Amino acid sequence: MSDTANENKRLMLRLGIAAVAMFGFGFALVPFYEAICQVTGLRNILQPDEVVNTQVDRNRSLVVEFDSNVHDMAWTFRPVQGSVEIHPGELVTVEYEVTNTKDEAVTGQAVPSYGPQIAGNYFKKINCFCFERQTLKAGEKRVMPVVFVVDPSLPEDVHTITLSYTFFEIAGTRAEKPAPGDRS
């Protein structure tokens, strides 16, 4: 067998091993991702939280502060209220206001985060604009509710929770504008 044939066989073997390793790495990422989400308090934001029947703890009050951000988008986004005082177990509805300042429709999705981080385990969203993509037409303004309950089993030393949303544009959702003179 020639040297070229041997080199080709060795190359094919190395490429085969690399392909198997990449396939295995893909499978290894799933439990790794789950572990990271559990450690950081991140959860699946595309599904409403399951809320068990809780009693309102009227002996305890919390302040929930609201924050809003946009990432590389021509939207204005703000909470209607800066904060609310609540009792754990109480069903609460707050609103955020968003406006598309661009002259074309834009689609975005909000990602929530919590401070302190542990609060994310006790903050149960029942209805939230973050569960689905939001498409706003040019100049459109929308008021979007968030309905939530803070689980009464939240540690006693947590007195303030900050709920922050960041809107990100969903790539590939804008319609391409035709080039001047294009009649397609």
76 and 153 part of one domain: yes
137 and 84 part of one domain: yes
14 and 91 part of one domain: no
33 and 121 part of one domain: no
Grade residue 39 by pLDDT with cuts at 50, 70 and 90: low
70 and 7 part of one domain: no
160 and 69 part of one domain: yes
pLDDT digit string, tens, across residues 146-169 = 999 999 999 999 999 999 999 999
30 and 67 part of one domain: no
pLDDT digit string, tens, across residues 56-108 = 999 999 999 999 999 989 999 999 999 999 999 999 999 999 999 999 999 99
SS3 for the chain is CCHHHHHHHHHHHHHHHHHHHHHHHHHHHHHHHHHHHHHHCCCCCCCCCCCCCCCCCCCCCEEEEEEEEEECCCEEEEECCCEEEECCCCCEEEEEEEEECCCCCEEEEEEEEEECHHHHHCEEEEEEHHHCCEEECCCCEEEEEEEEEECCCCCCCCCEEEEEEEEEECCCCCCCCCCCCCCC
82 and 123 part of one domain: yes
35 and 80 part of one domain: no
Has residue 19 got a pLDDT over 70? Answer: yes
Which is more confidently placed, 4 or 36? 4
Has residue 177 got a pLDDT over 90? Answer: no
Q: Identify whether 140 is part of a domain.
A: yes
Grade residue 29 by pLDDT with cuts at 50, 70 and 90: confident
Segments forming the whole domain that contains residue 117:
62-169
Which is more confidently placed, 72 or 37? 72
- pLDDT given at position 23: 81
- pLDDT given at position 171: 79
Has residue 184 got a pLDDT over 50? Answer: no
71 and 142 part of one domain: yes
The stretch 43-47 carries a mean pLDDT of 51
92 and 162 part of one domain: yes
Q: Identify whether 143 is part of a domain.
A: yes
- pLDDT given at position 168: 93
For the domain that residue 131 is a member of, what is the CATH number? 2.60.370.10
67 and 138 part of one domain: yes
Has residue 41 got a pLDDT over 60? Answer: no
Q: Identify whether 176 is part of a domain.
A: no
pLDDT digit string, tens, across residues 116-148 = 999 999 999 999 998 889 999 999 999 999 999
- pLDDT given at position 3: 86
